[in-house]
C-alpha cells in the first residue's frame, strides 16, 4: 500500500514539487525558532538551567590548573558532577580565546547543534538525495529543540557529545574507509566517550559495523578504541587517587534504573511518531540492493537507543536524554528522498512548532539577577549559595560546591569535603542560601543543625528549563541556648523513666530543636505537645548520623516536652542520640 501511495505522488509532478518545498518551508520555520531563541538568550548572564553554572566553574578549574576531581581532604570548594573531563577542556580552550563568560559555552553548544544539522544534510546529499531534501533533513534535527526541553543551546555536554559521535559514523559510513579515516573516526569516538560516558555505546556499535564488513579490521579498530579509553581512564584514576573513577563510573552505576520508565515508549514516541513512520517507510520503499546505505546508520541507531534510554531511566532524567534518538531518526529519514517521507517530515515539523517567548529571559529576570549579584557583592559576610555558586563567582566571592552533588556523592559513600563540613559545624558562614527547605539529605540535615530559615529572597533569577528551582530561602546561624548530651545520664532537669529520658517543659522562647541520631534501630526522639506526638524520628541501622531540626511553633498552650528513648552506647563512649540543642 505504501508503494502505491508513493507511486501516485510521483505521478503528479506538481504534487511532488509542492511536498518538497512545503517540507523545506516547515522545517525551516521551526528550525528558525531555535536560532531565534539561541541568539536571544546566548548573552543572558545567569543560569537558564540550574547546572550551567557548575559546568562553567568546572571549565574555569581547567584554566586555573586545578583538579576536576579533588578528594574530600584536598579541596573544599568543588565537587564535580558525574561527567568526564573533555567537555571542560574543550570549553576552556574557547574561553582562552573569547573570555571567561557563560555565553562562550552556549555559543559552543549552538555551533555543535548546527554542525549536527549540517552533517545530517550531508548524509542525505551523499546518499543521492536532492538538495531540498538534504536541507530539510538537516533542519529537521534543529526542529527537535523544543522536544529536547530547549536544550540545544545550553552550556551542557549533549551537543558536543552528539557532534563527535555522529562525526565518527559519518567518516565510517563510506565504503572501504582508509586507515586514515579509521584513525580519525576512532579518535572521535574516544573523544565522545570522554565528553559523555555513553560514547562507549557508539564505539562498540561502530566496531560491530566494521566487523560486518571486515572482521579483522573491525576487531582491530575496536581493540584500539578500547585500549585508548582504558589507558586514558587509568591515567586519570592514578592522577586523582581514584576520584575520577568514583565520579565517572561508581557514582553513575549506583543510580537505580526504573524499568517502567525504561520500557515506556510514550514520552519519546509522542514527540517522534512521524519520523518513526518515515524511517520505517524509508526502509520499506528501498529494494534489497539499495538498503546497504542504511547499514551504518542502523548501527548508529543501535548506539543511540541505549545512549538515550539508559540516562532516561535513572534519577535526574530529563528530555535532553532523548537527543540521540532524535538524531538517529533524522538521519534515517534523510536517507529516503521520497515524497511520502517528506509528508511525514511536514507532520513532524507541525508537532514541534512552539511559542518561543517563554524560553527567552525578559528584562525583569535580568534585573532580578543583577540585584542578587549586587547584594552578594556588597555583603561583607560569608555566604554559601548551596546550589548556585556561579552567582558567587559573578559577585567576586569564594565559590563552594553544589549541595546536590555533595549529597549525591554521599549516598554513594563518599564523604563531603571535610573543611566545608568543619566550616558548617563551626558556623563560619554568615548565611546559607538554599533552593528547597532542608532537610532532604544527610548533607543539608547537617546544615539544619546549625542554621535556620530566617528570610526569603525577593525575586531571585529563575531557571527556564530543566529542574525549575532557584535560590529562595536564606538560612542564618541559630543561637544555642542549651546543648544536651546523654553520656553522663539524664541532663539537669530531665527525668529518667526506664529507657526514656523526658525533658522539662520547653521555655516559651525556644524556637526550635536540633539533634543527631545515629544508626540504632531502637533509638528515637519524639516531640510531645501535651499527650500528642507532633514530631518523631528514629535511627536507621547502617546509615550516617541524621541531623535534623524541628520547629516548636506547633506546641499548644500546654507546652512541649522531648522524649529520648532506648539509647545505645557505642564502644567509644558515644551515645546513639547526642547533641540535642534548644535554640531561638
Handedness of CA 72, 74, 75, 80 (dihedral sign): negative
Claim to verify: residue 350 and residue 414 sit in the same structural domain: no
Count of the separate structural domains present in the chain: 3
Burial (CB count <10 Å: 0-12, 13-18, 19+), residue 115: middle
Here the cell at position 521 is: 534501630
Residue ending a domain, among 355, 383, 407, is 355
Give me the pLDDT at residue 1, please.
Answer: 54
pTM greater than the 0.75 cutoff: yes
| pLDDT tens for each residue of 373-418 | 999 999 988 999 999 999 999 999 999 999 999 989 988 889 999 9
Whether 529 is in a domain gets the answer: yes
pLDDT over 80 (residue 510): no
User: Rounded mean pLDDT of 266-294?
Assistant: 80
Give me the pLDDT at residue 309, please.
Answer: 94
User: Rounded mean pLDDT of 489-511?
Assistant: 79
Claim to verify: residue 271 and residue 331 sit in the same structural domain: yes
Give the structural domain span for 520: 480-583
Residue 85 CA, distance from chain mean position: 15
Claim to verify: residue 164 and residue 198 sit in the same structural domain: yes
| pLDDT tens for each residue of 55-94 | 999 999 999 999 999 999 989 999 998 899 999 999 999 9
Residue ending a domain, among 355, 388, 417, is 355
Claim to verify: residue 264 and residue 172 sit in the same structural domain: yes
- Direct distance between the N- and C-terminal alpha carbons of the chain, in angstroms, rounded to an integer: 77
| pLDDT tens for each residue of 412-455 | 889 999 999 999 988 899 999 998 876 567 788 778 777 888 88
Claim to verify: residue 389 and residue 490 sit in the same structural domain: no
Claim to verify: residue 328 and residue 415 sit in the same structural domain: no
- 551's enclosing H/E stretch is strand 546-551
| Contact of 191 with 86, CB cutoff 8 Å | yes
Mean residue pLDDT of the chain comes to 87
Residue ending a domain, among 433, 450, 477, is 477
Strands, sheet with 480-484, edge to edge from the N-terminal-most edge strand: 480-484, 577-583, 512-517, 546-551
Claim to verify: residue 338 and residue 195 sit in the same structural domain: yes
Claim to verify: residue 473 and residue 484 sit in the same structural domain: no
pLDDT band at 169; cut points 50, 70, 90: very high
Claim to verify: residue 411 and residue 463 sit in the same structural domain: yes
Whether 73 is in a domain gets the answer: no
Give the integer Cα–Cα distance in Å for 373 and 36.
27
Whether 62 is in a domain gets the answer: no
Give me the pLDDT at residue 11, please.
Answer: 55
Share of the chain above pLDDT 70, in %: 87
Nearest to 197 by CA among 257, 155, 244: 244
Give me the pLDDT at residue 138, please.
Answer: 96
Whether 312 is in a domain gets the answer: yes
Whether 497 is in a domain gets the answer: yes
Mean pLDDT is highest, among 2-11, 204-213, 245-254, 280-289, for 204-213
More confident residue, 387 or 3: 387
Claim to verify: residue 419 and residue 549 sit in the same structural domain: no
| pLDDT tens for each residue of 318-340 | 999 999 999 999 999 888 888 88
Query: How distant, in Å, are the alpha carbons of 38, 88, 189, 369, 540 from that of 155?
Result: 11, 10, 21, 18, 40
Claim to verify: residue 238 and residue 350 sit in the same structural domain: yes
Phi, psi of 561 (to 5 degrees): -130, 155
Give me the pLDDT at residue 173, please.
Answer: 92
| Contact of 268 with 325, CB cutoff 8 Å | yes
SS3 for 4-53, per residue? HHHHHHHHCHHHHHHHHHHHHHHHHHHHHHHHHHHHHHCCCCCCCCCCHH
| pLDDT tens for each residue of 191-220 | 999 999 999 999 999 999 999 999 999 999
Helical spans, DSSP H, in 430-516: 442-450
pLDDT band at 175; cut points 50, 70, 90: confident
Q: List the Cα angle 392/395/397 in 5-degree steps.
A: 55
Claim to verify: residue 210 and residue 315 sit in the same structural domain: yes
Whether 74 is in a domain gets the answer: no
- CATH number, domain at 520? 2.60.120
Q: How do beta strands 480-484 and 451-456 pair?
A: unpaired
Whether 14 is in a domain gets the answer: no
Whether 71 is in a domain gets the answer: no
| Contact of 397 with 412, CB cutoff 8 Å | no
pLDDT over 70 (residue 287): no
More confident residue, 444 or 567: 444
Give me the pLDDT at residue 350, please.
Answer: 95
Amino acid at each position: 500500500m505504501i508503494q502505491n501511495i508513493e507511486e501516485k505522488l510521483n505521478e503528479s509532478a506538481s504534487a511532488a514539487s509542492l511536498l518538497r518545498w512545503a517540507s523545506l518551508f516547515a522545517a525551516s520555520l521551526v528550525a528558525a525558532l531555535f536560532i531565534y531563541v539561541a541568539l536571544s538568550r546566548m548573552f543572558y548572564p545567569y543560569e537558564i538551567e540550574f547546572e550551567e553554572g557548575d559546568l562553567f566553574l568546572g571549565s574555569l578549574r581547567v584554566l586555573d590548573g586545578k583538579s576536576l576531581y579533588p578528594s574530600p581532604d584536598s579541596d573544599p570548594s568543588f565537587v564535580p558532577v558525574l561527567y568526564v573531563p573533555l567537555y571542560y577542556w574543550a570549553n576552556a580552550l574557547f574561553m582562552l580565546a573569547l573570555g571567561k563568560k557563560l555565553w562562550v559555552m552556549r555559543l559552543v553548544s549552538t555551533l555543535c547543534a548546527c554542525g549536527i544539522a549540517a552533517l545530517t544534510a550531508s548524509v542525505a546529499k551523499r546518499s543521492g538525495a536532492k538538495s531540498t531534501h538534504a536541507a530539510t533533513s538537516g533542519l529537521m534535527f534543529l526542529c527537535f529543540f523544543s522536544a529536547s526541553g530547549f536544550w540545544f543551546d545550553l552550556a551542557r555536554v549533549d551537543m558536543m557529545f552528539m557532534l563527535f559521535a555522529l562525526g565518527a559514523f559519518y567518516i565510517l559510513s563510506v565504503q572501504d574507509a582508509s586507515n586514515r579515516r579509521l584513525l580519525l573516526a576512532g579518535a572521535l569516538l574516544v573523544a565522545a566517550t570522554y565528553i559523555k560516558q555513553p560514547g562507549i555505546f557508539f564505539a562498540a556499535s561502530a566496531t560491530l559495523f566494521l566487523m560486518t564488513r571486515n572482521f579483522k579490521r573491525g576487531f582491530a579498530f575496536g581493540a584500539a578504541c578500547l585500549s585508548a579509553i582504558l589507558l586514558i581512564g587509568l591515567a586519570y584514576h592514578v592522577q586523582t587517587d581514584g576520584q575520577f573513577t568514583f565520579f565517572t563510573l561508581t557514582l553513575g552505576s549506583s543510580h537505580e534504573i526504573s524499568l517502567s520508565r525504561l520500557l515506556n515508549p510514550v514520552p519519546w514516541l509522542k514527540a517522534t511518531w512521524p519520523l518513526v513512520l518515515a524511517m520505517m517507510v524509508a526502509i520499506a520503499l528501498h529494494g534489497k540492493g539499495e538498503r546497504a546505505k542504511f547499514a551504518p546508520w542502523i548501527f548508529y541507531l543501535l548506539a543511540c537507543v541505549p545512549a538515550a534510554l539508559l540516562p532516561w531511566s535513572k534519577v535526574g532524567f530529563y528530555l535532553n536524554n532523548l537527543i540521540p534518538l532524535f538524531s538517529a531518526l533524522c538521519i534515517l529519514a534523510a536517507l529516503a528522498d521520497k515524497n511520502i517521507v517528506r509528508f511525514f517530515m511536514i507532520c513532524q515539523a507541525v508537532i514541534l512548532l512552539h511559542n518561543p517567548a517563554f524560553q527567552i529571559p525578559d528584562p525583569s529576570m535580568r534585573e532580578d539577577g543583577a540585584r542578587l549579584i549586587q547584594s552578594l557583592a556588597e555583603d561583607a559576610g560569608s555566604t554559601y549559595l548551596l546550589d548556585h555558586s556561579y552567582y558567587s563567582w559573578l559577585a567576586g566571592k569564594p565559590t563552594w560546591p553544589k549541595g546536590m552533588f555533595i549529597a549525591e556523592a554521599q549516598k554513594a559513600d563518599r564523604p563531603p569535603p571535610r573543611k566545608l563540613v568543619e566550616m558548617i559545624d563551626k558556623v563560619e558562614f554568615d548565611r546559607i542560601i538554599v533552593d528547597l527547605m532542608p532537610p532532604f539529605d544527610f548533607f543539608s540535615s547537617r546544615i539544619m543543625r546549625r542554621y535556620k530559615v530566617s528570610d526569603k529572597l525577593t525575586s531571585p533569577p529563575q531557571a527556564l528549563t530543566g529542574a525549575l528551582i532557584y535560590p529562595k530561602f536564606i538560612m542564618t546561624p541559630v543561637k544555642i541556648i542549651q546543648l544536651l548530651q546523654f553520656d553522663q545520664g539524664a541532663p539537669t532537669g530531665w527525668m529518667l523513666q526506664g529507657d526514656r529520658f523526658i525533658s522539662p517543659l520547653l521555655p516559651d522562647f525556644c524556637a526550635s530543636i536540633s539533634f543527631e541520631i545515629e544508626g540504632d534501630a531502637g533509638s528515637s526522639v519524639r516531640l510531645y505537645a501535651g499527650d500528642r506526638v507532633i514530631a518523631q524520628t528514629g535511627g536507621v541501622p547502617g546509615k550516617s548520623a541524621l541531623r535534623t531540626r524541628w520547629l516548636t511553633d506547633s506546641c499548644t498552650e500546654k507546652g512541649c516536652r522531648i522524649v529520648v528513648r532506648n539509647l545505645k552506647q557505642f564502644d567509644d563512649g558515644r551515645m546513639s542520640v547526642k547533641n540535642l540543642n534548644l535554640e531561638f
